[in-house]
Amino acid sequence: MKLIIAIVQDKDSNRLQNALIKEGFRATKLASTGGFLRAGNTTFLVGIEDEKVEEVLEVIRANCKVREQLVTPVSPVSGAADSYIPFPVEVQVGGAAVFVVQVERFEHF
């Protein structure tokens, strides 16, 4: 068995949740925060048999979009803060950051 941990954008989370349910996959949705953007995102936990991992990945791939997001870099802590002009830079976020982890044991009581 594997545990799929998928970090997706909030904008895709309802669509992905509906698609996982429709395809018969069990999932848990957690509210999370990206370390870089410090913005909300959504983490899905999906426990799944090894042979169905690719099917789950396909559902995630089909429902999560890549988007551009503007980020304003934080100003320097000390030094040339007076002359610092924080130009927003564009970063590409998503579709999804996915980890597939081996599950040693699963119990469901």
Please report, as ranges, the residues that interact with ligand 2BA according to CB under 6 A.
7, 34-37, 41, 91-94, 97
Q: What does each C-alpha distance from 91 to 34, 66, 72, 78, 86 come to in angstroms?
A: 13, 10, 10, 25, 15
Is residue 100 within 8 A of residue 6, CB to CB? The reply is: no
Compute the distance between CA of residue 32 and CA of residue 9 in angstroms, rounded to an integer.
10
Compute the distance between CA of residue 6 and CA of residue 46 in angstroms, rounded to an integer.
8
Considering the complex, state which of residue 9 and residue 19 has its C-beta at the smaller distance from ligand 2BA.
9
- At closest approach, how far in Å is the CB of 38 from ligand 2BA? 7
- At closest approach, how far in Å is the CB of 75 from ligand 2BA? 17
- At closest approach, how far in Å is the CB of 51 from ligand 2BA? 26
Considering the complex, state which of residue 35 and residue 79 has its C-beta at the smaller distance from ligand 2BA.
35
